[in-house]
A and B are shown apart, each in its own frame.
Chain A
Amino acid sequence: MKKLKLKELESCLQQVDTFESPKLLLEQYATRPHIAACMLYTIHNTFDDIENKTIADLGCGCGMLSIGSAMLGAGFCVGLDIDADALEIFNSNIEDFELTNVNMVQCDICSLSDSMSDTFDTVIMNPPFGTKHNKGIDIIFLKTALQMAKTAVYSLHKTSTRQHIQKKAAEWEVKMEVLAELRFDLPASYKFHKKKSVSIKPDITDKILR
């Protein structure tokens, strides 16, 4: 498979169609191509958690992260989202990009609990933050993602929730690493490693992405 450069990936992701009328209560916004590209590139090149792996995208929306994963050689990607309109855009994106290894499921992540335990190698997501009468939803997404993933969960969260998330990671006995911090009110990105670890000292690598 031809090695895709970061700039090429970002360029491709700029072609992904996004929400026409984003639903505020669902906190719908497309992950920006630059952020998606950087995030996916790191997951692929530093951690090798994309190529030939099965990947779930929780709260996939229009599919930015799923499509990027497919372009980096994912074995199989499944996007999950509650909104039929978003999935319709995702579907048309898949057709435009001529991807054959991406599927989607309409469901409410909050009602899945552990019904899909250990079904994917990797979970990559940009979950809702819980700012619209849905407080705690980011933690529910994280918990479900950790149940679904066999190896690792990569997720974006607000920097202001970092301590709370660290506490939860300790409670769930998973190892957490902060991979990057994005400035100007953009979320911080985290890697959650599935392997159980008693020492929960996070390895903080602060990279400022512009």
Chain B
Amino acid sequence: MKLLTHNLLSSHVPGLRPGGGFPLRIELGHPSELPPEPVPNYEGDEEFLRRLHHVLLEVEVLEGALQCPDSGRRFPISKGVPNMLLTEDEA
């Protein structure tokens, strides 16, 4: 799962507040290579853009989880595939 794919996903468990369930928090075993906030004038910062491009399009999360910011519900990621299937109770 690339970061670009992650950006498209949200929790669609019924009953969340409008606009809720997004963005999902990525749980990994190791820290990110990016600073927590974009630096000012990041458009001109080659080094930052390279790292951003790398994280957005070249890094694949193979194992981990996506956590809903509202409910805490975890969607597991296995072999690079996030599992967004809802349980019987949730659907």
Smallest CB–CB gap between B48 and chain A, Å?
22
Q: Give bound CA distance, A105 to B9, whole Å.
A: 9
In the complex the two chains form, is A82's CB within 8 Å of B8's CB?
no
Chain B interface residue count, CB cutoff 8 Å, equals 19
B28 within 8 A of A: no
Q: How many residues of A are counted as interface, with CB atoms below 8 angstroms from the partner's CB atoms? A: 20
- Considering only CB atoms, which chain B residue lies closest to A94 in the complex? B80
Check A119 against B8 for contact (C-beta < 8 Å). yes
B55: Cβ under 8 A from any A Cβ: no
Cβ-based interface call for B91 (8 A): yes
Contact status B81-A116, CB under 8 Å = no
- Give Cα distance in the complex from A111 to B85, angstroms: 9
Chain A to chain B: the 9 pairs with minimum beta-carbon distance, closest first? A107-B84, A115-B12, A103-B5, A106-B83, A119-B8, A104-B81, A106-B81, A115-B10, A105-B82
Interface residues of B (CB under 8 A from A): 1-2, 4-5, 8-10, 12, 21, 57, 79-86, 91
Give the B-binding residues of A (Cβ under 8 A). Answer: 76, 78, 82, 84, 87-88, 91, 101, 103-108, 111-113, 115-116, 119
